Amino acid sequence: MNAVQSVGDTDELLFADDGQDDQEPVRSAWRILIVDDEPDVHRATTFALSGVTILEQPLEFLHAYSAAQAIDLLTQENDIAVVLLDVVMEREHAGLDLVKTIRNDLKLSDVRIILRTGQPGQAPEIETIHDYDINDYKTKSELTRTKLFATITSALRAYRQIRALDELAFYDRLSRLPNRNRFIDLIDAQLQHEEVGNQMIAILDIDDFSEVNDALGHQQGDRLLQAVAERLRNSLGAGVVLARIGGDTFGLMGSADTIDPVGILDLFQDPFAVQDDGMVVTATLGLVHLSDVRGDGMDALKDANIALKRAKKKRRGDYVVFSNEMGFDIRERVRLLRGLRSAVDNDRLFIVYQPQVNLDTGRPVGMEALLRWRDGDGGFVPPEQFIPLAETSGLIMVLGDWVLRSACHELSRLQSAGWSDLRMSVNVSLIQFRHPSFLDKLRAALQDTGIEPAKLELEITESVAMEDANFILDTLTAIKTMGVSIAIDDFGTGYSSLSQLRQLPVDRLKIERVFVRELNPEVQGGHIANMVVELGRNLGMTVIAEGVEDEQQAKALQAMGCHEAQGFLYAHPLPMPELEAWLLMHGKPTLH
Ligand code: C2E
Ligand code: MG
Ligand code: MG
């Protein structure tokens, strides 16, 4: 019997018609693998589902009559969306063992698994369903045509969501190129090879891109980026890895003769076609030989970046190859770090609070504590600059602890003033989080200020949440046990594994502001925000959008079912006295 068999007229694979001819073909049928030792079950299932279309696509069936056959198929075939799996086959546990093999050995975490059994008594333990991410559990008698349809639809919906999340994690949507995460993975893979030999990495930065953006608008900026991506792709050929690793930066990897900086810069001689105009831009390159890299893919990228910075200082439109004595710009860092130390000593650091509101009522639900550094000249150093510095220097421990205590203290004051329902969010960096004393400090801050733990929320970034799985799970569980709430910050930018996310005790997802910015009629898209909202709701979490700047965005988010929002539309981050005034204007303290 042929293991791959299609139903009805669905056996031709259509190609997605999105104008991207050079893309991988997109399979336009959902692939369902039926694993069962009884041929009748295969027949009944395909019959029940023959000719149906689910989520705009037909179904294609694959058939396995034993666990071994299923493993072969799962290894050889791509894009299997759903496995309909018999619990009892040649052995009593054959089905459940296969589930373990699929998740643990084949590492297929996307495929949705629906268990089927003849007798209800063979139900697996709840833990098994959870641990192996089994989507559904049905006795065969329950699988009537209608139920089967409903079950498969919900499994396919989940599968689609997971795939979208993977795509988000590894591909840039504008250029369809691999993104930074993926590029780093690819460098890592290359570094594993013994033959690193003549491989090179380059970072290509488009000069003054932000001016193009400001002058001509984001849409033109996007078109320019697409044109540059296309020319690079066509000229460099398939032997070179091309990725979009930042707003206006591309990553390249290939042999030294293909990554020829002079040749690459020459590609910018001719104008780029942007709609009907020709646009001339230049680019600057930073390069590194992989054989010079000590460390992993991330380090390789850092080195290339150092070279890029040098090149920019020298002259735009030129290139620099990294050499080991460059190291990083120590002097600059030392200066900034000295400044930060003295800021700590001279009380030039303070905290501002940005309100968060309920999208339906417009009422304040809480605020986020954000750290500020006023430098000697009355200007501000942005947190994006000094937080990483504080992290690498260890100063973040003192700073973070101070922010946590101050925020708890202010919350306790607000509570005595009648604001007993408000929540205080505090950002916690990975360095703090990893420190063995963190939980003790948190406990002490709660005790000393007497605040209700549930009113404190810790924000960890998505990349932290996806670190070492067991450690994160243990720490988050300990935090939850104290009653403290947990939010994942900047959600949508990190490397999310859904199977991990669903196991974490997280209360809230914060949609990263770039995805909120897209919610505007001139820019296509918005589906990521929508997806995060849907995802959060499915996982029983609250979803809050950050960076909401106008009514339109707020309306769109509300329509998606997003619960809360934060952004300039409501208020900028404010010093405490101004926050209190704002609260009085926009909410009502509950008097006790
Ligand atoms: P975040 O936690 O994602 O904070 C939100 C950032 O968005 C804040 O930037 C805020 O001022 C900004 N923002 C809020 N509403 C809008 C809006 O409508 N439009 C735009 N364009 N931006 C908006 P900020 O204060 O510069 O902080 C930047 C980052 O620095 C924070 O991102 C956070 O990751 C980090 N940070 C700030 N304070 C602390 C802290 O105490 N500890 C740690 N570990 N990190 C902190
Ligand atoms: Mg935050
Ligand atoms: Mg954020």
Task: Please state the rounded mean pLDDT for residues 467-484.
Answer: 90
- Find the 489 Cα to ligand 1 centroid distance in Å: 10
Residue 346: predicted pLDDT: 79
How far apart are the C-alpha atoms of 515 and 534, rounded to whole Å? 14
Residue 4: predicted pLDDT: 41
Domain boundaries defined on the chain: 2-170, 180-322, 347-586
Q: Which CATH architecture has domain 347-586?
A: Alpha-Beta Barrel (3.20)
Taking the CA of 512 as reference, the closest ligand is 3
pLDDT class of 310 with cuts at 50, 70, 90: confident
Candidate of 340, 368, 370 to mutate for ligand 1, largest count of ligand atoms within 8 Å of Cβ: 370
Task: Please state the rounded mean pLDDT for residues 17-43.
Answer: 72
Q: Which CATH architecture has domain 180-322?
A: 2-Layer Sandwich (3.30)
Q: What is the chain's mean pLDDT, rounded?
A: 86
Residue 124: predicted pLDDT: 67
pLDDT class of 20 with cuts at 50, 70, 90: very low
Residue 21: predicted pLDDT: 37
| DSSP per-residue letters across 244-257 | EEETTEEEEEEETT
Amino acid at 393: S
- Find the 97 Cα to ligand 1 centroid distance in Å: 46
Q: Is the pLDDT of residue 16 over 50?
A: no
Residue 23: predicted pLDDT: 42
Residue with CA closest to ligand 1 atom 19: 547
Residue with CA closest to ligand 1 atom 10: 573
Task: Select 2-170's CATH number: 3.20.20.140, 3.40.50.2300, 3.60.9.10, 3.30.1240.10.
Answer: 3.40.50.2300
How far apart are the C-alpha atoms of 226 and 240, rounded to whole Å? 18
Q: Is the pLDDT of residue 80 over 50?
A: yes
pLDDT class of 411 with cuts at 50, 70, 90: very high
- Find the 566 Cα to ligand 3 centroid distance in Å: 10
Cα Rg, the chain, nearest whole Å: 27
Q: Is the pLDDT of residue 216 over 70?
A: yes
How far apart are the C-alpha atoms of 46 and 517, rounded to whole Å? 45
More confident residue, 375 or 45: 45
Q: Which of 42-46, 163-167, 332-336, 346-350 has the lowest average pLDDT?
A: 332-336
- Report how far apart, in Å, the C-alpha atoms of 408 and of each of 164, 278, 355 are: 38, 56, 15
Residue 200 token pair = 């090179």
- Per-residue pLDDT tens digits for 97-125: 899 999 888 888 889 999 887 766 666 66
Task: Please state the rounded mean pLDDT for residues 150-163.
Answer: 90
Start-end of H helices in 394-545: 396-416, 430-434, 438-449, 462-465, 469-481, 498-501, 513-517, 527-538
pTM for this prediction: 0.65
Residue with CA closest to ligand 1 atom 7: 547
- Beta-carbon contacts of residue 413 (< 8 Å; ≥ 6 apart): none
The atom of ligand 1 lying closest to the CA of 461 is 34
Task: Please state the rounded mean pLDDT for residues 31-49.
Answer: 92
For residue 422, the Cα-to-chain-centroid distance in whole angstroms is: 28
The atom of ligand 1 lying closest to the CA of 371 is 38
**Angle between helical axes of 145-170 and 527-538 (0-180°, round to 10):** 120
How far apart are the C-alpha atoms of 206 and 210, rounded to whole Å? 9
**Helix and strand tally (H, E) in the chain?**
22, 23
Instruction: Encode burial over 140-154: b for 16+ CB neighbours within 10 A, e otherwise.
Output: beebeeeebeebbee
- Beta-carbon contacts of residue 212 (< 8 Å; ≥ 6 apart): 220, 221, 224, 279, 281
Residues with CB under 6 A from ligand 1: 354, 370-371, 382-384, 387, 400, 403, 427-429, 459, 489-490, 513, 546-549, 567-568, 573
Taking the CA of 462 as reference, the closest ligand is 3
- What percent of the chain is modeled with pLDDT above 90? 51
Q: Is the pLDDT of residue 552 over 90?
A: yes
Residue with CA closest to ligand 1 atom 30: 383
pLDDT class of 231 with cuts at 50, 70, 90: very high
Parallel, antiparallel, or unpaired: how do β-strands 456-461 and 423-427 relate? parallel
Task: Please state the rounded mean pLDDT for residues 422-430.
Answer: 95
Which class for 456: exposed (0-12), middle (13-18), buried (19 or more C-beta within 10 A)? buried
Q: Which residues surround ligand 2, an ion (CB under 5 A)?
A: 427, 459, 489
Are domains 2-170 and 347-586 of this chain identical in fold? Answer: no
- Beta-carbon contacts of residue 481 (< 8 Å; ≥ 6 apart): none
Candidate of 546, 550, 553 to mutate for ligand 1, largest count of ligand atoms within 8 Å of Cβ: 546
Residue with CA closest to ligand 1 atom 20: 547
Amino acid at 589: P
Q: How many residues in total does the chain contain?
A: 592
Q: Is the pLDDT of residue 42 over 80?
A: yes
pLDDT class of 555 with cuts at 50, 70, 90: very high
For residue 267, the Cα-to-chain-centroid distance in whole angstroms is: 33
- Find the 463 Cα to ligand 1 centroid distance in Å: 16
Residue with CA closest to ligand 1 atom 24: 383
Residue 224: predicted pLDDT: 94
Task: Please state the rounded mean pLDDT for residues 362-384.
Answer: 90
- Find the 547 Cα to ligand 1 centroid distance in Å: 9
Start-end of H helices in 179-282: 180-192, 209-216, 218-236, 261-266
Taking the CA of 464 as reference, the closest ligand is 1
Taking the CA of 459 as reference, the closest ligand is 2
More confident residue, 26 or 213: 213
pLDDT class of 329 with cuts at 50, 70, 90: low
